[in-house]
Chains A and B, each alone.
Chain A
Amino acid sequence: MDWHRINICRSCNDRGEQKMTQTWAILLAVLSGLLGGIGVILLKKGSKKFNLNIFQQIRNKYIILGMASCGTGMIALLIAFKGGELSVLYPIISIQYIISTLLAVKYLKEKMNLLKWAGITAIIIGIILIGLGI
């Protein structure tokens, strides 16, 4: 592939001004975060049996499903990147921490407490501030 044909800053227009991040790109980043949050719980479940023996890991269904979920999320984010800025879209996938914390309480028997709720609240406010696009 030709290095020179690759556009590095396509989020700038001809006059070098930043383009606004598109709504569809933000929605795709949210989807990516959801898939990432689910994926990481699956990976945590699979990590008990994790080692570098690829033949054993092929049969580790939690690792396979976790990677599939994270992988699909990654593709969603890749497509989202076409529609906006990295500094907007990448932080949005932190929605995965909210999902994974709630799922960890439900499925990994981890305990919820005030600090976790405070953390989730801070992340939600952070995502809203970034998502406003100003």
Chain B
Amino acid sequence: MIKLKAIGLALLCAFLAATAQIFQKIGGNNLPEITWPILIGLMLYTIGWIVFITALKDGDLTVVFPIVATSYIIAAIYAVMIFNEQITMLRWIGIALIFAGVAMIGVSRK
């Protein structure tokens, strides 16, 4: 049975994970100095963890994981918009394959 609560929590987790990466990337750029984006990233991670574990409690790992994997696509869009990274066609294909692969692992569960 599809558990809507677990799916909703997994989507929230994906958004939190991708957003945390943005702050961690900004923080990483400024290492070894510890700047506030690292702390915001950590905070988002921590909330993400709690949401993730709660989602796992309601749904199988194999259902929750593929939904959380949309964070790769969200993060790629962020990377283009915020960091002006140039994502080549080959890299988009790679990201799509990773998402498809994670989704396949997820739906493989009866």
Answer yes or no: are A and B bound together in one complex: yes
**In the assembly, what is the distance between CA of A116 and CA of B110, in Å?**
12
Binding site secondary structure of chain A: helix
Q: Does A134 contact B (CB under 8 A)?
A: yes
Q: Does A77 contact B (CB under 8 A)?
A: yes
Q: Could you give, for residues 2-13 of chain A, a 1 whenever the CB lies within 8 Å of some chain B CB and a 0 otherwise?
A: 000011111110
**A 87-126 contacts with B by CB, 8 A:** 87-88, 90-91, 94, 97, 100-101, 104, 108, 110, 113-116, 118-126
- Please report the total number of A residues contacting B with Cβ < 8 Å: 59
Check A77–B62 contact: CB distance below 8 A: no
A interface vs B, CB < 8 Å? 1, 6-12, 18, 40, 43-44, 46-48, 50, 52, 63, 67, 70, 74, 77-82, 85-88, 90-91, 94, 97, 100-101, 104, 108, 110, 113-116, 118-130, 132, 134
